[in-house]
Amino acid sequence: MCDFHIRVLGNIHRWTVQCVLMINMFNEKVYIFLWWWFVLVGTLSVLSLLYYVFALMLGSNQRQFVTRYLRCAGAISDFRDPKTEKYLHDFVRRFLRPDGIFILRLIETNGGDLLVSEIINVMFGHYRARMEEQSETMAVTDRAHLNGNDNLLER
């Protein structure tokens, strides 16, 4: 509290008032702005977290993400080839999985679309080559079993 003595016509009047500095009123406005700013940033952070959880866990969204970059790179066409669709499905589900998609999304955010497109293209090319090699090996093994040659290790 602040005590003031004011003379009016020879009389001394004593006034006791609350001390208010202008800087305190300014600080109050700044802290109100900061409080609302933190509420906004907190809300946007929660919404961003929910978006990332949704984007990472939803399978069709993962597949769309990879398909978009493979089409941009020219690795797959718009024509729906069943063999390529199966490779793409297995590539997203079994090879990349949610953690691989998450890493690719981080690279997309920090490195750009071109970098992610090239990474996905190279990875899918290696995956497709490995799967085609395995399918050829399985076809040879199946033909050998159908022909009655069960001893494949002696070849």
pLDDT value at position 18?
79
Please tell me the distance from the alpha carbon of residue 52 to that of residue 119, in angstroms, as a whole number.
Answer: 21
Find tokens 């003031």 and name the residue: 4
Q: What is the token pair recorded at 20?
A: 């208010």
pLDDT value at position 155?
46
pLDDT value at position 151?
57
pLDDT value at position 96?
92
**Model confidence, pTM:** 0.62
Locate the domains of the chain by residue range.
24-51, 58-155
Which residues are within 8 A (CB) of 14 and not within 5 positions of it... i.e. 6 or more apart?
3, 4, 5
Instruction: Report the amino acid identity of residue 8.
Output: V
Give the pLDDT band (50/70/90) at residue 116.
very high
What tens digit of pLDDT does each residue of 9-32 get? 878 888 888 777 788 889 999 999
* Mean pLDDT calculated for residue range 78-93: 86
